[in-house]
Amino acid sequence: MKHLTLAFSTLAALALALAACSSLVPQAPGAVSTATSTLAPAAPSATAEVPATPTAKALPTATPEALPSTTAEPVSGAAVSFDRLSLTLPTGVASGANGTQVAKVEGDNAGPWGVAPAHIEVNLEGYALQGKFHQPKVYIYPAEAYAQMQNGAAESLKRLKAILAGNSSAPLTTNELPFVPFFNAGQAFAAGAKVIPFQNGKGVRELTEYAQYPAPINNNELIYQFEGLTSDGKYYVIAILPVTAPDLPVDAKPDAVVPAGGVPLPDLNSANPDFPGYYSQVQHNLESLQPEAFTPGLDQLDALISSMSINTSN
């Protein structure tokens, strides 16, 4: 869980104000596994999943770029498959994966963000980044069942469908982009939003960070997020892939050094720290970088997504 390490009274007040005006953006605790299978080629297991962060509303501060669509191209790397999901791991991104069939989660013990139908969870092994707050994973949910069971999933799917249908305005805000339904936290900002097709569907990728409070954007928690739908609308895909950028601090600690060219935090001693301006500038900086400046490269992560194929026949 993200610790509220910025020990400033102003920031605490902002966090309380954010919680007071927030609406639920769900996020899940541990799910129940029913079966596990290792995808070929196998690699040493990635670091353990960090528990999900508790609750907050997505901050309506940043406005990602318009959404150009890219074209799916052949990917060079290791082909893996589990259950209905097949994909290619670009060389240098990951060396293998393992898949889990997760049982239906419901009832009082699940929490509102943890409710979900039976689904597939694929963990990427030998990933280019280790020890980050989030672990590299791809989830496949039956879309209609998830929307019926969980309000957060229904809202996120609604936003996703509007974007894919061309019904959303551009540039988009975090209030219009899809979010991870099982994260009990909100998107602090979003950058680099782009429509990415995969073999039998398409979706939206973005760079983002989830938090419960006005948080520093940092390389421990920054993720490449993809949410998509199969062409027949049956399956909802969520990919969470850690990524780092050269001008972000290593973590959210108050003494973390902001690299040259990075964006310093707003003055936390002022009456109204300018976090909207801070997020907007971070977004601008990230969108100004070349894809290869990130680790892993954004082109590599886009290629991984584009390689996905989901069997929807049963």
Q: What is the pLDDT of residues 181-193, one digit of tens each?
A: 999 999 999 999 9
- Mean pLDDT, all residues of the chain: 81
Q: Rounded distance, CA 141 to CA 306, Å?
A: 18
Q: Residue 265: name the closest of 278, 252, 255, 246 by CA.
A: 278
Domain count, the chain: 1
Tokens at 36, concatenated: 């596990």
Specify the pLDDT at position 62.
Answer: 37
pTM > 0.85: yes or no: no
Q: Is residue 262 part of a domain?
A: yes
Residue 191 C-beta-side C-alpha neighbours within 13 Å: 23
* DSSP, res 301: H
List pLDDT tens digits, range 35-69.
344 444 333 333 333 333 333 333 333 333 445 44
Domain-embedded: residue 2: no
Residue 93 lies in a domain: yes
Give the DSSP letter of residue 165.
Answer: T
Q: Quick check: is 11 in a domain?
A: no
Strands 309-310 and 85-90: antiparallel
Q: What is the pLDDT of residue 168?
A: 66
Instruction: Find, among 262, 5, 222, the residue nearest to 132 by Cα.
Output: 222
| 268-294: pLDDT as tens digits | 888 899 999 999 999 999 999 999 999
Classify residue 18: in a domain, yes or no. no
CB 64 within 8 A of CB 168: no
For 117-135, letters b (16+ CB in 10 Å) and e give bebbbbbbbbbbbeebbbb
pLDDT per residue as tens digits for the range 127-170 = 999 999 999 999 999 999 999 999 999 999 999 999 999 876 66
Q: Rounded CA gap, 276 and 61, in Å? A: 5
Q: Is 21 helix (H, G, I), strand (E, B) or coil?
A: coil
Contact 62, 116 (CB under 8 A): no
More confident residue, 130 or 22: 130
C-alpha angle 207-114-201 in degrees, rounded to nearest 5: 50
Q: Is residue 20 part of a domain?
A: no
DSSP state of 109: G
The band of 91, judged by pLDDT with boundaries at 50, 70 and 90, is very high
Please give the Cα distance from 181 to 153 (Å, whole number).
5
What is the rounded distance in angstroms from the CA atom of residue 189 to the CA atom of residue 283? 7
8: pLDDT strictly greater than 50:
no
CB 293 within 8 A of CB 246: yes
Q: Indicate if the pLDDT at residue 77 is higher than 60.
A: yes
Strand partners, 187: 210
Is residue 214 over pLDDT 50?
A: yes
In a domain, 256, yes or no: yes
Q: Residue 110: what pLDDT?
A: 80
In-domain check, residue 13: no
Residue ranges making up the domain that contains 54: 26-310
| Residue 6 pLDDT class (50, 70, 90 cuts) | very low
Task: Single out the residue of 140, 138, 149 nearest to residue 110, CA to CA.
Answer: 149
Q: Write down how long the chain is.
A: 314
- Assess whether pLDDT exceeds 60 at residue 18: no
